Amino acid sequence: MRGAVIFREDFNGQHLNLNNWMIDVTATGDWHNEFQVYTNDRRNVYLKNGHLYLKPTLTIDSGHFTDNDLWHGTMDVKKTWGTCTNNGFNGCYRDSKNGLLPPTCSGRVQSKPTLKYGTVTIRAQVPRGDWLWPAIWLMPKKSVYGGWPKSGEIDMMEAASNEFMEWGNGQKVGVQRVTGSFHMGPAFTADHHVTGAQYKKQGDWHGFHTYKLEWTPDRLILYVDNLQITRMDISNGSTVWKHFNFHGNNPWTHGSKIAPFDQEFYLILNNAVGGSPGIFGDSTKYAYPKPWKNNAKNPLADFWNARNHWLPTWHGDDVAMLIDYVEFRHL
């Protein structure tokens, strides 16, 4: 039915509805070597006052690890948290011989309902606190066109939550900026992304705002509070392949003109910490020198050793990403 709501979650009640959501439990840092382990601990993923909280905490406060364990121990994710949902990048087992164990815990959930074409609307509050990297994004349920980025990725919202973070030209790119992107390409080395941003002249994006994806067989548009972040339009007679002038083997020959964005995608909500490389550039200006270099041998250790700088910026629930509701609608 046109415009029908096919999935709605208001996060009322005591517990996350596991019929609709999977809680990720993994120490994978993904491609960005992030500094957190995602857990199912009630301190990291919980419902309160009709909101979903994804909140970072210190690993040494989890009751499972001491500071000495971070430097000299191992992290068996399944043994510690009862399950491990992603083995990639040593996601289920980490040994400090290969670098400091993740010094922070945080939350990531993914939706079991999926969507192809329609709108995704999410009312959320991004965190405020140094080196936090919240994201609202969608990934293909089945990578029918091949591994990333052949099957696409939709980043509805990403932010760097530092209060002071600016480029050389004076542009503030911390919590005063939210970005959105569409990723696609014929090879891992040929990722093409269509990216845009919205900047706050006054104040910042920490507070509740409405993030929206409009997705049709012809276009993808991202908004925050009805302000356009970015868009991608594929005209009749064209395709994503032609539009962006890709070369090599076209993985989308059997897809529609907007392939790879013609498949079912699921939603991911997460609150990452740090990362190398990632959203925090080495040459960006910060309130104090960035604790790690993106090519550092042990960036997690450099980050953890600088906690007297960043931990004072983590104030209570301000560091949590809050989700008020999620809604999928048909076209």
| CATH code, 318 | 2.60.120.200
pLDDT at res. 2: 81
Query: What pLDDT shows up at residue 30?
Result: 87
CA 221 to chain centroid: 18
Cα–Cα distance for residue pair 197/208, rounded to 1 Å: 17
Angstrom distance (rounded) from CA 23 to CA 199 = 31
Kindly list the averaged pLDDT for each block of 10 residues, start to end, along the chain of length 331. 92 97 96 97 98 98 98 98 97 97 98 98 98 98 97 98 97 98 94 96 95 98 98 97 96 98 98 96 98 97 98 98 98 90
- Give me the pLDDT at residue 297, please: 96
Report which of 152, 202, 210, 207 is spatially closest to residue 182, judged by C-alpha positions.
152
Query: Which residues span the domain enclosing 264?
Result: 5-329
Total structural domains within the chain: 1
Say how far apart CA 92 and CA 82 lie, in whole Å: 11
First to last CA, the chain: 8
